[in-house]
Amino acid sequence: MTDTRNDRAPGYSSTLPELEGLSGVLIYTIGLVLAVILTATSFWVANTSLLWPPGVPLGLAVLAIAQMGVHLVFFLHVTTGPDNTNNVLALAFGVLIVILVAAGSLWIMADLNANLMSSDRMMNQHTRH
């Protein structure tokens, strides 16, 4: 016969069920506190005059990436453990799709902007007819 004591699903915790619920609440609470702090910091960065103005977009980008990391780790439980390989691959695929959509949108907008008729030329054409 096989030994079923070590036959557990990925992510299975061997702690007592009473403690598992408490640790889950603690993890979600820590994630919530970090998310609120990062959100409040983002609003402060966007509305303050104390920071160097050209550095504000970079600071907001860093805070947004940190916010995504908090959500992935504390709420979606995406880690790099051996039992989470599919989660990491799905995340990488999602990031690839977002990058492709953003790059394609920027390319289309740039192409439309380059082929758009200027307002002066459009006004002159409208008055001729």
Cα–Cα distance list, 7 to 3, 11, 79, 81, 97 (Å): 7, 12, 21, 18, 36
Domain boundaries, the chain: 16-77, 82-129
Percent over 90 (pLDDT), the chain: 40
Cα–Cα distance list, 64 to 54, 104, 106 (Å): 17, 22, 20
Q: Which has the higher per-residue pLDDT, 89 or 128?
A: 89
Interval 52-78: pLDDT, tens = 999 999 999 999 999 999 998 888 888
The pLDDT score that the predictor gives to residue 16 is 47
Task: Report the pLDDT averaged over residues 81-107.
Answer: 88
Residues 6+ apart with CB under 8 A from 111: none
* CB of 54 closer than 8 Å to CB of 10: no
Task: Report the pLDDT averaged over residues 23-44.
Answer: 93
Q: Which tokens in the block code for residue 67?
A: 């916010």
